[in-house]
Amino acid sequence: MSSKPRILLTRRWPAAVEQVLAERFDVTLNEGDVPLTAAELAEALRTYDAVLPTVSDRLPADLFAGGGLRAKILGNYGVGYNHIDVAAAKAADIVVTNTPGVLTDCTADIAMTLLLAVARRAGEGERQVRAGEWSGWRPTHMIGGKITGKTLGIIGFGRIGKAMAKRCHFGFDMDVVFYNRSRIDPAEASRYGARQLDTVEDVLKVADFVSLHCPGGGENRHLINAERLALMKKGAYLVNTARGDVIDEPALIAALENGVIRGAGLDVFEAEPNVPERLRGLENVVLLPHLGSATEETRVAMGMKVADNITAFFDGREPPDRVA
């Protein structure tokens, strides 16, 4: 019998990372690569020394209750961890780690992609060309919103928010304002061409584009609701690469249908992978399947970070990216 810690990967990971993990641990893979059920996750916590979940796994408090757990660490494959009840994990003496830093640029790139695509109607245009419905150039065809020189409002000025500010200010000459829970040194903010405003409302009122970069869950659930959507400029666009639950989705759909805002670019949804039919039916949205970190380099780097965290833990060292 192997004396190596037993670990479970809840989904398939890039081959290079699976190989590194197999050299260090007794690894079980989820060969089918379909999400585990709640019962399977509960069983995993009783069976493995480490469980390595992703955003597609829900680990609520009840999974950690009742004792008899073998798991000592959850090495989350991702920076966001609101799908894990970390307080309950901690109470059950289970360490939780994440993967900050390595997905910053790629996630900001997807936010930028959505911003550009929704404002310039790229999704609509692409659908029109593919359907053979383009009747040729004309002065009034598919007019979008200009980006250069406009105001970007960022909610959440962490790594990804800063990377987005940098792209928009230095790349597109945008005036960048942001809301962040804690105060950011103005000198630090100005390195990203940005300045802090006092409230979410202050940002929503002045921005032509609003991009969400705060964590999901907790007090951020439905941060963008009907009331706040109504504060946005009529011609404004909303971009979300953070977590689906930061937006009250039915309220957003109503705002898009009724012209309260002009459009939205969404990479994340409230009940992934379910995207409401009414949202899918709208032309003024660009919808992506949670692609923020989906580049070869980033997905490998995320896996290597998890490997480093659980290696440190089982070597008796402090995991570098411990969140609980």
Q: Which of 272, 283, 297, 317 is catalytic?
A: 272
Q: Does 292 bind ligand DGY (CB under 6 A)?
A: yes
What does the alpha-carbon distance between residue 216 and residue 222 come to, in Å, rounded to a whole number?
9
> Does residue 78 touch ligand DGY according to CB under 6 A?
yes
Taken as a whole, the chain contains a residue count of 324
State the number of binding residues for ligand DGY (CB under 6 A): 8
**Distances from the Cα of 126 to the Cα of 111, 117, 122, 134, angstroms:** 19, 10, 6, 10
Candidates 25-33, 76-84, 179-187, 204-212; binding stretch for ligand DGY (CB under 6 A): 76-84
Nearest distance, CB of residue 34 and ligand DGY, angstroms: 17
Residue 272 annotated among the catalytic residues of the structure: yes
Q: Is 243 a catalytic residue?
A: yes
Considering only 180, 196, 293, 298, the residue that binds ligand DGY (CB under 6 A) is 293
Shortest Cβ 215–ligand DGY spacing (Å): 9
Name which of 82 and 311 has its Cβ closer to ligand DGY: 82
Q: Residue holding tokens 């060969």? A: 31
Phi, psi for 33 (deg, rounded to 5): 55, 35
Q: Which residue in 243, 249, 262, 270 is the catalytic one? A: 243
- Residue with smaller CB distance to ligand DGY, 54 or 311: 54
> At CA 114, angle to CA 100 and CA 82, rounded to 5?
35
* Beta-strand runs (E) in 145-284: 151-155, 175-179, 194-196, 209-212, 237-240, 263-266
Least Å distance between CB 195 and ligand DGY?
Answer: 27
- Minimum distance from residue 298 beta carbon to ligand DGY (Å): 9
Task: Based on the shown chain and the rule CB under 6 A, indicate whether residue 103 belongs to the binding site for ligand DGY.
Answer: yes
Q: Is 113 in the site for ligand DGY (CB under 6 A)?
A: no
Distance CA 252, CA 221 (A): 14
Q: Is 309 in the site for ligand DGY (CB under 6 A)?
A: no
213 belongs to the catalytic site: no
Strand (E) or helix (H) holding 7 = strand 6-9
Number of neighbours of residue 134 by Cβ within 10 angstroms: 12
* Run of H or E including 231: helix 226-231
Report, as residue numbers or ranges, the catalytic residues.
243, 272, 290
Binding site for ligand DGY (CB under 6 A): 54-55, 78-80, 103, 292-293
